[in-house]
């Protein structure tokens, strides 16, 4: 029996992800579109598939419908067959917020029956909202060589960013001897990626020891490091947590750079080609005579009549005559009518920008959004799903238009920088 035959994967996909603002008002964070025709969760699922692992439980919670529809039977990632499968695991206990998962460890604890129903030597715990490529089988082999109780994937990050992560101090063998969760004063640049391998029996034992401990990083891992064998698996490569608007935008833009470290196709990242709105049933993109496309990614089903610069277009986007799209991410089936401008913006699905309208107006990128100052502060404007922007309207920087707003919901044709509808 190989490492892979006796391993269970639990993929945590239940977080609210509120820092992604309107992108998660209608869907779970792992189901947010990425790089044209992927979803964020495709990266974790594909890493599991490419590592030869075949039994997966996906722990959902917040707005799971689009995620469940995307996963389907798991066929897109070869999770079908007698010994293969992907199982959706929603919270069990009730309908009140207080019944929901209280943390990462609590989420796993509530699914102990699933773990016991799928006997395994080790359990791999992943997050569904990271963009990366990793050989999980190599991490499993490392875990076994070290005879570890727990192995944590870790990577070096700038000291200025370590406050966002769990941080570990290791000895010469790679064993973690000290742990700090989101330290304000960093003593190490080694950050947890939120990817763990546990010996199954060890995990079950520590989950049942103290049922008040609800989070791995805050509670269980520090205790394990004090008394048991916890090792750091060194990861070198591209990895990004896309839990904020800024990080999400930057990761998409990373795809467009000539020296990009991220390459979903070369990594073997697989979307679900049968999911609603993807490219499998679309005709090829059409580039009308006179259009201009520079440094951009254009998906199937798009029609380009205007100019697209440094932008990512999901399937079915229509860029009308005289339209300019720059530094933007445009989701499925948006319609940009004649003469419109979209500059440094994220447009959710089926947005219509009326003729002559401007989304992303002005040089002031530093005035944050008044309602969401910690979400939008670098100039990015966000337009929600199925919004209709009136013709000749102007929308400034760091603006938010909530999903499903129509022309009549705009109090005027001018939305100033930092404002929200």
The reply to whether 99 falls in a domain is yes
Q: What is the CA radius of gyration of the chain?
A: 22
Torsions phi, psi for 336 (to 5 deg)? -110, 110
Domain identity same for 328 and 390: yes
- Tell me 321's DSSP state: T
Average pLDDT over residues 243-266: 93
The torsion of the CA quartet 299, 305, 311, 317, rounded to 10 degrees, works out to -50
Domain identity same for 190 and 300: no
In the chain, % helix, strand, coil (3-state, to 5) comes to 25, 25, 50
pLDDT value at residue 15: 67
Say how far apart CA 362 and CA 346 lie, in whole Å: 16
Average pLDDT over residues 122-128: 93
Q: Find out whether 3 and 328 touch, Cβ atoms under 8 Å.
A: no
Sign, CA dihedral 70-76-79-81, equals positive
Say how far apart CA 83 and CA 79 lie, in whole Å: 9
Say how far apart CA 359 and CA 413 lie, in whole Å: 11
List 342's β-bridge partners, or say none. Answer: 325, 359
Tell whether the model's pLDDT for residue 278 goes beyond 50: yes
Q: Confidence class of residue 47 from pLDDT cuts 50, 70 and 90?
A: very high
The reply to whether 260 falls in a domain is no
List 170's β-bridge partners, or say none. Answer: 176
Run of H or E residues at 44: helix 41-50
The reply to whether 272 falls in a domain is no
Map tokens 């530094």 to a residue: 327
pLDDT value at residue 147: 96
pLDDT tens digits for range 354-410? 999 999 999 999 999 999 999 999 999 999 999 999 999 999 999 999 999 999 999
DSSP per-residue letters across 289-316: TT-EEES-EE-TT-EE-SEEES-EE-TT
Stronger pLDDT, 214 or 240, i.e. the higher one: 240
Q: Which residues contact 257 (CB under 8 A, 6 or more apart)?
A: none
Q: Which domain holds residue 98?
A: 4-254
Q: Of 205, 221, 254, which closes a domain?
A: 254
Say how far apart CA 128 and CA 28 lie, in whole Å: 10
Domain identity same for 32 and 135: yes
Domain identity same for 140 and 226: yes
**In whole angstroms, what separates CA 12 from the centre of its chain?**
12
Say how far apart CA 29 and CA 99 lie, in whole Å: 20
Q: Find out whether 86 and 74 touch, Cβ atoms under 8 Å.
A: yes
Q: Find out whether 233 and 135 touch, Cβ atoms under 8 Å.
A: no
Q: The domain that contains 408 carries what CATH number?
A: 2.160.10.10
Domain identity same for 147 and 281: no
The reply to whether 285 falls in a domain is yes
Helix (H, G, I), strand (E, B) or coil at 388: strand
Domain identity same for 90 and 167: yes
Say how far apart CA 10 and CA 115 lie, in whole Å: 9
Map tokens 């580039």 to a residue: 287
* Averaged confidence pLDDT in the chain: 91
Domain identity same for 189 and 295: no
Verdict on whether the full-model pTM lies above 0.85: yes
Tokens at residue 351, please?
């947005």
Domain identity same for 165 and 68: yes
Q: Of 196, 223, 254, which closes a domain?
A: 254
Domain identity same for 286 and 244: no
Strongest mean pLDDT among 9-18, 106-115, 364-373: 364-373
Residue 55: Cβ within 10 Å count: 21
Domain identity same for 169 and 206: yes
Torsions phi, psi for 253 (to 5 deg)? -65, -30
The number of distinct structural domains making up the chain is 2
Tell whether the model's pLDDT for residue 2 goes beyond 70: no
The reply to whether 267 falls in a domain is no
């Amino acid at each position: 029996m190989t490492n892979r035959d006796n391993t269970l994967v639990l993929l945590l996909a239940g977080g609210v992800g509120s820092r992604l603002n309107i992108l998660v008002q209608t869907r779970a964070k792992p189901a947010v579109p990425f790089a044209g025709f992927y979803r964020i969760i495709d990266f974790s699922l594909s890493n599991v598939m490419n590592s030869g692992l075949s039994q997966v439980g996906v722990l959902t919670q917040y707005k799971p419908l689009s995620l469940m529809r995307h996963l389907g039977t798991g066929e897109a990632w070869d999770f079908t067959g007698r010994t293969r499968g992907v199982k959706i695991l929603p919270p069990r206990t009730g309908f009140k917020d207080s019944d929901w998962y209280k943390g990462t460890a609590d989420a796993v604890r509530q699914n102990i029956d699933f773990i016991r129903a799928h006997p395994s030597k080790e359990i791999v715990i992943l997050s569904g909202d990271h963009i990366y490529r990793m050989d999980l089988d190599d991490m499993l082999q490392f875990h076994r060589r070290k005879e570890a109780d727990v192995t944590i994937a870790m990577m070096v990050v700038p000291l200025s960013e370590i406050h966002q992560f769990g941080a570990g101090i290791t000895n010469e063998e790679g064993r973690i001897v000290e742990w700090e969760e989101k330290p304000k004063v960093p003593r190490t640049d080694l950050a947890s990626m939120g990817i763990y391998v546990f010996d199954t029996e060890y995990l079950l034992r520590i989950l049942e020891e103290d049922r008040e401990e609800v989070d791995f990083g805050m509670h269980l891992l520090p205790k394990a490091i004090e008394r048991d064998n916890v090792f750091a698996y060194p990861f070198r490569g591209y990895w990004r947590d896309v839990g904020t608007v800024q990080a999400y935008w930057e990761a998409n833009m990373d795809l467009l750079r000539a020296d990009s470290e991220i390459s979903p196709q070369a990594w073997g990242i697989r979307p679900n080609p049968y999911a609603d709105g993807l490219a499998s049933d679309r005709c090829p993109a059409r580039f009308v005579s006179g259009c201009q496309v520079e440094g951009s990614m254009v998906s199937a089903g798009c029609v380009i009549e205007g100019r697209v610069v440094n932008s990512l277009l999901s399937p079915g986007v229509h860029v009308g005559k005289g339209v300019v799209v720059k530094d933007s991410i445009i989701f499925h089936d948006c319609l940009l009518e004649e003469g419109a401008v979209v500059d440094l913006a994220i447009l959710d699905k089926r947005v219509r920008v009326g003729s002559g309208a401007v989304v992303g107006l002005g040089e002031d990128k530093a005035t944050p959004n008044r309602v969401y100052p910690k979400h939008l502060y670098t100039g990015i404007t966000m337009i929600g799903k199925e919004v209709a922007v009136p013709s000749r309207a102007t929308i400034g920087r760091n603006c938010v238009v909530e999903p499903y707003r129509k022309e009549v919901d705009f109090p005027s044709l001018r939305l100033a920088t930092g404002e929200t509808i």
